[in-house]
Amino acid sequence: MPRNEYPLSKQISLHNIVRVQQVIDFFVLSELQRGRLYGSELEQQIIVALGKQSPTNVGVNNGYLSARLKKLAEEGHVTRAWDGDNRYNRYYSITPRGHDYFKQLLKELPDQVDLAINTYTNFKHYIDRFGHIPLN
């Protein structure tokens, strides 16, 4: 039998299942639906949302969150402003363009999340297959 007589082809690459930037953008834009928030408040809301069913608090790297907030502002999805003279208290508000982007993410992300859950579940089973191999 020739090699790869019945090869499988990928329909999607692993890194395209759910992009971290989409997850962060979704969290930010969903929280800003309630009104303007400081960057630190957005970070806390992400920790709360991701840690609800977990014994471990999961968050996002501060530098990455700041970079995403800056990018969202550059793309016109959010506005950012300083609170008085304190350069560390920047607050964010969603724009009409941000509402449109949020709606787009709301359409795309559920299917991507389902695919990610399925993929990671299969990967967990694959890891379990090798759990009996000694690591020394």
CATH code where residue 77 lies: 1.10.10.10
- Mean pLDDT is lowest, of 22-36, 81-95, 109-123, for 81-95
Q: What would the pLDDT profile of 26-41 be if each residue is shown by its tens digit?
A: 999 999 999 999 988 9
Closest by CA position to 81, among listed 95, 91, 66: 91
Host domain of residue 49: 18-129
**Between 80 and 136, whose confidence is greater?**
80
Q: Is 35 left (phi over 0), alpha (psi -120 to 50) or beta?
A: left
| Verdict on whether the full-model pTM lies above 0.75 | yes
Confidence grade of residue 130 (pLDDT, cut at 50, 70, 90): confident
Residue 1 lies in a domain: no
Asked if residue 9 belongs to a domain, the reply is: no
68 within some domain: yes
| Residue 11 is assigned to a structural domain of this protein | no
Q: What share of the chain is helix, strand, coil (3-state, %, to 5)?
A: 55, 10, 30
Number of domain units in the chain: 1
Q: Quick one: average pLDDT of 39-66?
A: 83
17 confidence band (pLDDT: 50, 70, 90): confident
Is 123 within the bounds of a domain? yes
Is the backbone of residue 4 left (phi > 0), alpha (psi -120 to 50) or beta?
A: left
Residue-wise pLDDT for 119-128, tens only, equals 999 999 998 9
Q: Is residue 95 part of a domain?
A: yes
